Structure 1
Amino acid sequence: MTHSNMNNSKPKSLSGDLGPIVHVSNLNLQYQYKLVLKNLNWTINRGENWLLGGISGSGKSSLAKVIAGLQNAVGEVEFNFNIDSALPAKVLFVESWYQFKNVEGVANFYYQQRYTSLQAKETLTVGAELISYSKENNLEFAEVEKLLKALNFSSLRNSQLLELSSGEHKKLQLIKALWLKPQLLIIDQPYTGLDKDSRKTLNSLLDEICADGVQLILICNDTELPASINCFAEIREGQLVQVESREMISTAPERTSRELPDFLKQSPVYSSENIVKMIDVSISYGEKMVLRNINWEVKAGEKWLLQGPNGSGKSTLLSLVNGDHPQSYANNFYLFGNKRGSGESIWDIKQHTGIISPEFHWYFDASSTVWQSVASGLFDSVGLFRQLPFSQKAKVDELIEFFDLTENKDDLLSSLPLGKQRLVLLARTIIKNPELLILDEPCQGLDQQQTQYFNQLVDELCNNGMTLIYVGHFESALPSCLEKRIVLENGEVKAIESIAESCLV
């Protein structure tokens, strides 16, 4: 079938001499004044499984959305599905970000809502979501059992969608895609938020469905890929370019080193030597225990790595430290020297902290401009609702220039590629030079060069005595300033150790 101007009609199935499963010709896509795809051509033959990599913002996700019929463009996309195959004759696109709705079909949740006591009635459970998906796609429910087990997801059947961490949401996306087994499966950033074991398991499962006839397009710059990936490409100046191997895919040019803004060279003013102190802290949702008897102390100036498998309790632990979790009042828990519940507000806590996380990115106001988004970090708001004095405007401008975002400062945050959106939020996080910097998977969506640069920035920032809690699954993408590590497993502390004495796994 041919899409001309990319309407929303569905591709039809053909039998006989099928030829390529997808043929893209003369595809053009423009955002405002930027031509993203320019007369792009791409043929995907039978048996080909592609890695689409390259520089952030080159148009990879846009191309995938066009092929999946989710993005309008000028040109032609022809599908030749096998009508005789047992696999569904369709394209499935798994986005890098998971969007879900509540029971009334609304998706505008707010960041702290996942921790409130009313959440149980807000969203479907994982089990209900899977039942609905099986009915919608005529799938055998028994088939999903092995996927749930393989990705350690069986215990989450009764969890609300709103309760899941970013890594757990990603797993749910992937489970549904692996269960459906469409003839063409496109996954944008398949490994985002997954721990080491889950990444290996995913690759094995992807190889299994490829053996059953599924064809893959993976959009990422990761090095550990399924064995079934046998074709490699990137987008250069709006056109698709095939290369011989993953190593030949372009990387962003190395950034020119810039001097840190003066206001970030100053040491934070600490209100207490003790930043975090937890004594037998436990968190539960009904009968489900998420954290159990946590004892942990973070002193001013320390740099901690927080690790653990998906679902181990990391996000909940950070929600306590950031002041978002209401159950902190029922525990023996201190922040910045004050016992929680002794009269301080959540905004008092946020004055001392800067945070970035996948969940915060989900719920951030994407209608703000880059400049407004960075400036909002001065007030811990998700948008800018006040005029700034000259001194604060100067800080915003300095930081935007430091991150090479000057040419984007008046652009809407939502118009930027994911990698640049993340850099904007990183700038927002550090603008007030906080006592405690909380970075939860801060490099999700960044390419290798951006990740390396950001971690160098973290190292520079921490030279001034800032306290750091850093969550990262990829051991090769961590800042070098980290000194100590706490590891969670099933909601309990598995290890607290010096990084110099440990072997990161």
Structure 2
Amino acid sequence: MDKPFVYIQDLNLGYRNKAVLKDLYWEMNIGENYAIGGKSGTGKTSLAKSIAGLVSYQGSIEINFDQLRELPQEVLYVESWYQFKNLEGVANFYYQQRYTSLQANDTLTVHAELVSYGKEKDLQFDQVEPILEALGFATFASSQLIELSSGEHKKLQLVKALWLKPQLLIIDQPYTGLDTASRKNLNILLDQVAEEGVQLILISNDSELPNSIHSFVEIREGKLVEADTLENSTTEIHLREIPEFLKASPLYSSQDIVKMVDVNISYGEKQVLKNINWEIKAGEKWLLQGHNGSGKSTLLSLINGDHPQSYANELYLFGNRRGSGESIWDIKQHIGLISPEFHWYFDTTATVWQSIASGFYDTVGLFQQLPYTKSTQVDELIAYFGLTESKNELLTALPLGKQRLVLLARTIIKNPELLILDEPCQGLDQQQTKHFNQLVDELSSNGMTLIYVGHFESQLPTCIEKRILLEKGGVKVVESLNTEILS
């Protein structure tokens, strides 16, 4: 009798005296492709990293590679977020560094990264080109790694994985940061490599999976349980009463929040934004959309004060023209921000309480003592988000869903005039996404201005009333939205 391709027995794994996987047993046979779903924090990523040999565990995991296949006898794990390094092997970049020209000789280009990977794995470069085209990534060859958005970094890791074609490919949240077209093309590519003998384990609650995925499991109470599908069921969510200090309208310094007049941004010969004209008034709720690489992240970096080329353009923020004497910190006082990239660079030593409190000072960690009033507001917000039991834990120790709630709390702690939520629900399941967006609706009901970046209308707050759509760096659509379309 043939041995299972993956054989797991008595797998136990825990963090900080908390058991995550408990005497887990699993057999994955030759030719099977699995999706692992379920709630955030149940241990899906821990199981994947255990199979890939990336974490310590107790128990037995046996991978029985097919010695007759030409495919590499490897387990490749593609993590939900990828943290790249510069040429000196350092990963701790600071957030604004993405938009400066100083990193030009400090990180590889996409092309150089792929050339290096191809040499390391003995791959033919002509075989990667169709993958780049299918995922809409061929135009990023000259881009620095530090310039890429979260969705673009995800594509780069997927490109390398599909190029390598290991015997076992594990992808954690394969669709994170990808637009609709890229998701569809990724599923086609995954079906193709599955036909060639690559076995897949996808960690995802997405309903639109590759056709090659026929088996479904979830982790419940530390053990693996077979499931018919990965259909998500959402239950009614009852929100707590919003803290009093957030019920008042933000103190607007101007009714003109953002005004862009023929804004252009270029990196050398590559033009990222082209003749952008956009106005945002106080209290408006905007949806910002566009394919990966359309310029969304760069547009937001102008508003958030992070992009140095803002001085070379006619850009007004909170009633003042950019470059009229205000500092980046003057601008950030008006803004609360969540983005995948900001989450990347956040202080890994900060507790939940410190992370939320840092929002008062727009820092990526808490570096000063809070006065009593502000400390009380942090405690009130922690209670509102249901995080009281976790307030002294490290932010990074929490499941992704709770980390996002912490960062949402951080963004609104100072009741900002403008709330920028850049794909805040990446990697969250349907229940978490629904909860997050209900919180956004509640918190922004005091008249706060909102810019929300999201690809899918079914996963948006109901408060959104206007939309701007970018395409290849230009404005394709600006329109008012019927709220019924978004519900």
Identify the TM-score tier after normalising by the shorter chain: over 0.9
Letter in 1 for 2:152: E
Structure 1 residue 409 corresponds to structure 2 residue 391: yes
For residues 501 and 432 of structure 1, the distance between their equivalents in structure 2, rounded to whole angstroms, comes to: 28
**Secondary structure in 2 aligned to 1:404?**
coil
Structure 1 unmatched ranges of 5 or more: 1-16
Q: What residue in structure 1 maps to residue 213 of structure 2?
A: 229
Give the Å deviation of 1:68.
0.1
1:493 aligns with 2:475: yes
Over the residues paired in the alignment, what is the CA RMSD in angstroms?
1.4
Answer with 428-437 or 446-455: which moved more: 446-455
Greater alpha carbon shift after TM alignment, 341-350 vs 460-469? 460-469
* Amino acid across the alignment from 2:177: G
- Residue 145 of structure 2 corresponds to which residue in structure 1? 161
How many angstroms does 1:255 deviate by? 3.8
Letter aligned with residue 364 of structure 2: V
Select which of 125, 132, 135 maps to 1:141: 125
Residues 427, 502 of structure 1: CA spacing in aligned structure 2 closer, same or farther, 3 A cutoff? closer
CA contact (8 A) 2:352 2:392 kept: yes
Residue type of the alignment partner of 1:194: L
| Structure 1 residue aligned with 2:156 | 172
- SS of residue paired to 1:82: coil
Q: Which is worse superposed, 461-470 or 330-339?
A: 461-470
The residue number in structure 2 matching 1:439 is 421
Deviations 1:375-403 (A, max 9, x none): 00011011111111221111111111111
Residues 261-270 or 456-465, more deviating: 456-465
Contact preservation (8 Å) 1:18, 1:81? no
| 1:329 matched residue in structure 2 | 311
Say which of 62, 66, 71 aligns to 1:82: 66
Q: Contact conserved, 2:151 with 2:176, CA < 8 A, in 1?
A: yes
The reply to whether residue 390 of structure 1 matches residue 393 of structure 2 is no
Q: Look up the equivalent residue of 1:260 and give its one-letter code.
A: I
Contact 1:277 1:334 in 2 (8 A): yes
The Cα offsets for residues 322-357 of structure 1, whole Å up to 9 and x where unpaired, read as 010011011111000000000001111001000000
What secondary structure is seen at the aligned counterpart in 2 of 1:488? Answer: strand
Identify the match of residue 116 of structure 1 among 77, 100, 109. 100
Unmatched tracts of structure 2, length 5 or more: none
1:463 to 439, 445, 458: 445
| SS of corresponding position for 1:207 | helix
Residue 21 in 1 paired to residue 1 in 2? no
Question: For 1:406 and 1:502, how far apart are their aligned partners in 2?
Answer: 35
Of residues 16, 23, 32, the one that matches 2:16 is: 32
1:70: which partner in 2?
Answer: 54
2:464 touches 2:483 (CA, 8 Å); kept in 1?
no
Alignment check: 8 A CA contact 2:219 2:225 kept:
yes
Equivalence for 2:456:
474
The one-letter code sitting in structure 2 at the alignment partner of 1:344 is: E
Counterpart-to-counterpart distance in 1, 2:298 and 2:3: 50
Q: Distance in 2 between matches of 1:137 and 1:416?
A: 35
Q: Contact 2:360 / 2:414 at 8 angstroms: preserved in 1? A: yes
1:95-130 CA distances to partner (integer Å, 9 max, x unpaired)? 001111111111110000010111211100000000
CA contact (8 A) 1:18 1:82 kept: no
| Residue 422 of structure 1: how far off its partner (Å) | 1.4
Aligned length: 486
Name the counterpart of 2:355. 373
1:217 partner amino acid = I
Q: Is the 8 A contact 1:52 1:233 kept in 2?
A: yes
CA distance in 2, matches of 1:132, 1:451: 38
Do the aligned residues in 1 keep the contact of 2:438 with 2:461 (CA within 8 Å)?
A: yes
CA contact (8 A) 1:55 1:252 kept: no
Alpha-carbon distance change, 261 to 341 in structure 1, aligned in 2, over 3 angstroms: same
SS in 2 for 1:158: coil
Provide the secondary structure at the position in 1 that maps to 2:27: strand
- Counterpart of 2:57 in structure 1: which amino acid? A
**Match of residue 110 from structure 2:** 126
SS at match of 1:387: coil
CA distance in 2: counterparts of 1:71 and 1:255, whole angstroms: 35
Are 2:5 and 2:63, in contact at CA under 8 Å, matched by a contact in 1?
A: yes
Name the SS of the counterpart of 1:305 in structure 2: strand
Judge conservation of contact 1:304–1:482 (CA < 8 Å) in 2: yes
2:299 to 317, 337, 341: 317
Q: Distance in 2 between matches of 1:204 and 1:295?
A: 37
Q: What is the percentage of aligned positions where both structures have the same residue?
A: 70
Q: Which amino acid letter does the alignment assign opposite residue 278 of structure 1? A: M
1:105 correspondence with 2:89: yes
Partner SS, residue 482 of structure 2: helix
State the alpha-carbon separation in 2 of the partners of residues 499 and 211 from structure 1.
43
Q: What TM-score comes out, normalization by structure 2 length? A: 0.98
C-alpha contact 1:18 1:80 (8 A) present in aligned 2: no
TM-score after normalising by structure 1: 0.94
Q: Secondary structure at the match of 1:81?
A: coil
For the Cα contact (< 8 Å) 2:463–2:483, is it kept in 1? no
Q: Distance in 1 between matches of 2:226 and 2:425?
A: 27
State the one-letter code of the partner of 2:375.
K
| CA deviations over 1:48-103 (Å, ceiling 9, x no partner) | 11110111100000110010000000000011110110111110000001111111
Check whether the contact 1:254–1:449 (CA below 8 A) recurs between aligned residues: no
Equivalent-residue separation in structure 1 for 2:203 and 2:239 (angstroms): 29
User: Which residue number in structure 2 is paired with residue 5 of structure 1?
Assistant: none
Q: Tell me how far 1:252 sits from its aligned partner.
A: 7.3
Match in the other structure for 1:55: 39
Structure 2 residue 341 is matched with structure 1 residue 345: no
